[in-house]
Structure 1
Amino acid sequence: MDSSKLKKEFTLTQWFQVLSILAALMIIIDFIIPGKVYTDPILNIKKERQQYYNAAGNSHSSYKVFTEREDFNVSGSFAKQIKDVEKITYSISPLFNEVNYYSLIDSEKRNVYSLRLVSGLALPLITILILLLAIRYKKRVEILSFVFQVLIIADFIYLLL
């Protein structure tokens, strides 16, 4: 193989790693910075049954809160607490306009939806860790680092939409 071609491929790999780390850092910063906090009346709570079409035929319920400005998913336990409450406090992230946390108006406890926690914090942190390991152990984690680079770019695109 030509050494200039090998060098070009190596630099493309490095650029993709840098792009992935920057995307992961942007996602983490967006998750950590509280953004704008709103207190809105709850217009509706929608419960939706999600079914799996597999041999077990399992299902679960998902809950969505509708306010004047936003509609967002909440956990089942939180949805059950809302019944007597008229208002909800929530924070919108500055970069991706996602709901970072939500809480009842009279509660100090902040709740974070599990998908937002995975998408905004867990996946980017794991990606950065794996990419740093990839620098140290180049060939040993090459496939794993590529998979997480693709995942973080997909997560970035998901947050943009």
Structure 2
Amino acid sequence: MTTNPVGMFPGYLLRQATNATLNRLYERLKPLDLRLAEASVLVLIQSNPGVTQSQAGQPLKIARANMAPLVRRLEDAGLVSREAVDGRSYGLYVTEKGDDMARRANAAMQAHESELMAFLPPHLRGPFAEALTCLGEFYTEAEESSVG
């Protein structure tokens, strides 16, 4: 048997858990013919009608350069429409078809999250979410301070 010297590193364990859980989520989204980023943006637009591309990308940590083609795919699929906000900006709205798809995507993601948390003993669920939040905030702040 091969020894894995990194098998108990928190970063390694986090990556293994991420891979396993994302694969399950991809399977849930596959019948909708949506990628995870597309589903996330669609749900965000549904919750924030009139949001601009830039505003939609920020909380999801999607680079501006990646938002344009992503929104274009959603538009081409008839899920999202744009309306002029001012001379340069466009607000994004889900179409009727997009509203239905966003509901289905949100339901798939909610089911995935419920399943994920159900695997944890109840007494670990709160601390687990707190630890992930702490890591995310730390690395986001570190990244922002190194850029600025």
Shared fold per TM-score greater than 0.5: no
Compare the two structures and name the one with the higher strand fraction. Answer: 1
